[in-house]
Structure 1
Amino acid sequence: MKKLLLVEPVVAIYSFASFLTFPLIQQYIYRRLWEEINNSSFINGLNISHCEVNDSNPVYKQQKEVQQRASLFSMSLNLSGLIPSLLVALILVAYSDRYGRKAALLLPSIGALASSSICFAMSYFSLTLYLLFASSLISGFLGSVSTFLGGCFSYIADLCNNENKKTIRIALIDMIIGLGGGLAGLSSGYFLNELGFTWSFVIAALLHFANSVFIIFCLEDTVKISETQQQAFSRESFTKLFLGVFLLFKSSTCRKRALIIVMLFAFMVYLFANIGGSSVFIFFELDSPLCWDEVLIGWGSSLSTLLFLSSFVGVYLFSRCLRDAYIVLIGIISWISGIIMAAFATTTQTMFLVRLPLLFSAMPFPVLRSMMSKLVLASEQGALFACIACLESLMGTVALIVFNSIYAATVMWYPGFCFLLAAGLSVVPFSIVCFLMCFGYKERDHTLLVNEGDATEDIVS
């Protein structure tokens, strides 16, 4: 059977299954802790009497305690898989430069399959919540989402010689992630209402299984490996896997190295603010005065479809008439305006309208990735995306820990504080990109720097 050079279906299935699982786990934690603290069943459906708005009522304090404990439990859960996911992301994506991209796609899919299966067993047999830590560790040791995305972006970089096409294809991957996440968010509430937690986790596990089969039998690798290379996997080549990112920076010129580092810093700060601010949305919506049920949460999450779709359209259109840096600035402004609006939302209508100014907030991610990718050689794409994936995993986990801790500490007096903090932090990457526009990166720089890299590589050879 002829294999396909098409990674988009893999991304679509993985993102839908993963984003279906994330809100289910958060709500499962919330409900189990509610039952533990209040010694009563969680009230399901459209009846929202479990959400007390009168702060003089003892139930109000119990409700806030559930909010705090659920937030801290989620923080600990994300921390548990941090170290293994960092190491595996660094190794697997760098490994893909020499020995193929498929391993960076397959192992995280198998890890997600195992994680969903554990969640199914926990829900079906009413096992302890601490089993989620085993799920997180297994997923981390098999690469987790950062390794998967690093492999996907490296795969796309291999296929695209045209620089403008590369930006659009990377933005397309982000859009597919958003579409998958939005559809999964919309579906999660209905799955939960109709099937419950147990069978919803089964659906996620089956999707990850199907994805693993597709990667093994249907996806063609972009990196061709000869039999000599396969047999030559020596101690020296194994060491290079750990030094891949180091060698990327060591072999670069000072200017190229400085540009990559500055762009990485801007990317990570924006990622920190974006993931951190977004991570408390569900807890914020479950709490008073919004008191959303699972269906409203599903609809709210599904609006991320519009955000990623509109961001892709924005990248596609803006890239025809604007420099990359301007597209990044428009995206950051979109995020800041939307997240500030969320901080002051007190009604369901306002919370839904928050998504309107956020329409272009996902544009900085693919554009910054593309800008960095344009600075390195074709043989360094895996090392670059390994670096991005490793830092992305670290920064994403730290963001979840920090923002969940801050939310737990501030929920009593001002639940929207995390949103204002995210807006303030986003000023940093905005300023960095403005600085690069004035004194550093130009659109023609990537060609010059890559040529410099070619010259350096020739000298080393």
Structure 2
Amino acid sequence: MADGYTTTAVHPVRRRYDSEHTVPQSDISMSVVTDDTRFENIRRRSTIYGLRDRSSGCCAINVEPILFLITCCFGLMSTNSSLFTYWARCVEIASENQEKYSHNVTYTCALIAKSNNTLQDEVERDIASMKIWLQICGCLPTLITSPIVGNWSDRNGRKAPLLFSLLGFFLSNLIQLLATLTYESINIYYWSFSGELLMALFGGGAATFSTALAIVTDDCRHKLKPGSSTVPFRVGLASFIQSLGMLTGTFIVSQMSVPALTSVERHAESYFKVAFIQVGFSLIALIYAIFFVRETHFPKREDFQYNQFDQLDNIEEELDETSGQISTHKKSIIGKFQNYFGQIFGVLLARRPGWTRLCLCVSVFFVFIEFLSFDPALLLLLVKRMPFAWNDKLFSYFSLLRTILTSVGMVLCPLLLTLFHWLGKDSLLIILALAASAGASFLTAFATTTNQIFYTCMFAVLMGGMQPAYRSFLPRMVAKEETARLLTAVTIIMSFSPILSSIIFNSIFNATLDWWAGFSFFVAAIFQTVVFFGQIVIHLLMRPQWKLEKQLRAHRGLENEDREIDYHPGDAEQRSISNTAVDSDSGSRRENI
């Protein structure tokens, strides 16, 4: 039987594509052509289509201001939204039961931690319960819309999906602003659910950041040569800008916050001012994207025609047993989703040498558990209670300090590890970060003073190294062409983390509020301790393979020096042992495309 790419029964679109472009018939060779020559083809056609050659202008500003503005908004939102929800629900609940609590509602809420524990318990149980449904409302639609926006970006260009997601982000912030103006007359949850759902329908924050970062990557594509381990300046700059934006947003909240005991009017106005700044930043980002962001991806002008493969993606091939011919018919919607998720999660299930596949799957599960155990909104409910009784300004200062130390750790920890010649540095950094995370949770659970809560910031430096460590550790276990699918699978799995986190830990907080408010943090510390010991086991299982790979790299280096073999981009990529998939039938190594 002839191969599906050469038989006469194949769909005519496929035959026309092969004859016109003379692409090698295997998927691997097609990948080489499209990955290695696509940028060169665009550059050669730039004079025809009026495009500017960006090879000499990689450092020109494009989407970086949007990254800064959006992360500023998230820094504002992460702190101000929790504080405002607490205040608004206190006012609303007290207003509904004025005969039970007090006729002066705002003054009662200003003294909530010291004068009325019954009202405080009711407010915190209400927020903890509704947080579960808010997470479900925001996360589940994002699981559907975010991959659609990403696929749209790959097939039709970056700018239109970016504008689409920025529009949803602006409208969500506008709803937050309306909530600060009407919370005394309209239940805040009406606005909260509307904002979460609207933002999710436009792809959520995941679509906004992924599209913006894809533009940065496109601008520096010519520096991402095969075999190069250097991080382009634009990629590092984008990460720094994101960290700076979060710091700026948190700092603005700390300066705008006014304790309720100082002035109830100014305290309520501070929420409006922060929300107004959020709307302003998101509007500026949208306007900048419309007029100043340059398109960086032109799939229809390249040799790899996405519009042709749109037709092929919708076709299934089946072998007719009676005639021996290949018949084709369009895939159903269910078939498309099965094919999509099969390609994504197949990266985790592909056979690999040694313990690599097991360690990869367990590591992804550990990432899920670690993020599951972290909920800053729950910390706010804890520190608002006695014996802490924090006001908004103190909580914003704490968030600012922790964000600064976490950002320092993201840079400092990887730099310090370069001074040592150890195997699996990123794994060791993950182990240290997990130990620090568990220590911070244990200290929070047993804390009885404000100083003890602030002591947990000392662990933030080591915890900051977790994110870059996982970004390095997980991709090392797969081949280069599997990296995007691996990160997509991790993103999909991580989307369920906020939902389960709210269901588990908010329920525990409600159940143990009367006898130990910090018990939920104790449970989180237990989870993190289990992940800590699990990562040690993974390190021990992977260490023999890392050692063997190091010996093979040294051996290849000696051979190249002796034979004076130069590397060419078109040559086959040298694979490490752990990131090479293994054929389940023959046991030989193969590359997954």
Shift in Å, 1:341? 1.3
User: Hey, what does 1:250 align to over in structure 2?
Assistant: 346
| Cα 1:390/1:147, change in 2 over 3 Å | farther
Q: 1:133 aligns with which of 182, 193, 197?
A: 193
On the 8 A contact 1:184/1:302 being kept in 2, the answer is no
Shift in Å, 1:24? 2.3
User: Hey, what does 2:571 align to over in structure 1?
Assistant: none
User: Hey, what does 1:35 align to over in structure 2?
Assistant: 91
User: Hey, what does 2:272 align to over in structure 1?
Assistant: 198
User: Hey, what does 1:288 align to over in structure 2?
Assistant: 386
Cα shift readout 1:214-246 (whole Å, capped 9, x = no counterpart): 445545566552336354363544776874452
Shift in Å, 1:345? 2.1
On the 8 A contact 1:100/1:222 being kept in 2, the answer is yes
| Cα 1:351/1:30, change in 2 over 3 Å | same
Shift in Å, 1:107? 4.0
Q: 1:309 aligns with which of 384, 397, 408?
A: 408
Letter of the 2:84 counterpart:
Y
Distance (whole Å) between structure 1 residues aligned to residue 147 and residue 582 of structure 2: 22
User: Hey, what does 2:308 align to over in structure 1?
Assistant: 232
* Greater mean alpha carbon deviation, residues 279-288 or residues 291-300: 279-288
1:272 matched to 2:372? The reply is yes
Distance (whole Å) between structure 1 residues aligned to residue 66 and residue 251 of structure 2: 20
Shift in Å, 1:163? 7.3
Letter of the 1:420 counterpart:
F
Shift in Å, 1:326? 0.5
Shift in Å, 1:123? 2.2
SS in 1 for 2:69: helix
User: Hey, what does 1:76 align to over in structure 2?
Assistant: 133
Letter of the 1:128 counterpart:
N
Shift in Å, 1:331? 0.8
Shift in Å, 1:399? 1.3
Distance (whole Å) between structure 1 residues aligned to residue 476 and residue 215 of structure 2: 14
Q: Which of structures 1 and 2 has the bigger CA Rg?
A: 2
| Cα 1:96/1:429, change in 2 over 3 Å | farther
Task: Choose between structure 1 and 2 for higher RCO, CA contacts under 8 A separated by at least 6 residues.
Answer: 1
Q: 1:337 aligns with which of 436, 439, 449?
A: 439
User: Hey, what does 2:462 align to over in structure 1?
Assistant: 360
| Cα 1:27/1:178, change in 2 over 3 Å | same
1:212 matched to 2:314? The reply is no
Cα shift readout 1:131-159 (whole Å, capped 9, x = no counterpart): 21111101111122233444566667775
User: Hey, what does 2:74 align to over in structure 1?
Assistant: 18
Letter of the 2:300 counterpart:
S
Distance (whole Å) between structure 1 residues aligned to residue 149 and residue 68 of structure 2: 21
Shift in Å, 1:379? 4.3
Shift in Å, 1:413? 1.2
Unaligned runs of 5+ in 2: 1-50, 55-59, 96-103, 259-265, 315-332, 551-574, 584-588
Distance (whole Å) between structure 2 residues aligned to residue 106 and residue 260 of structure 1: 35
User: Hey, what does 2:205 align to over in structure 1?
Assistant: 145
User: Hey, what does 1:67 align to over in structure 2?
Assistant: 124
On the 8 A contact 2:408/2:464 being kept in 1, the answer is no
Q: TM-score, with normalisation over the residues of structure 2?
A: 0.67
Unaligned runs of 5+ in 1: none
Distance (whole Å) between structure 1 residues aligned to residue 478 and residue 292 of structure 2: 29
Shift in Å, 1:264? 1.1
Letter of the 2:447 counterpart:
A
Structure 2 counterparts to residues 153-168 of structure 1, below 5 A: 165=230
Shift in Å, 1:9? 4.2
Distance (whole Å) between structure 1 residues aligned to residue 535 and residue 235 of structure 2: 19
Q: TM-score, with normalisation over the residues of structure 1?
A: 0.84
Cα shift readout 1:182-236 (whole Å, capped 9, x = no counterpart): 4323322433446432332121122122223444554556655233635436354
User: Hey, what does 2:449 align to over in structure 1?
Assistant: 347
Alignment RMSD, CA only?
3.6
Shift in Å, 1:357? 2.3
Shift in Å, 1:12? 2.9
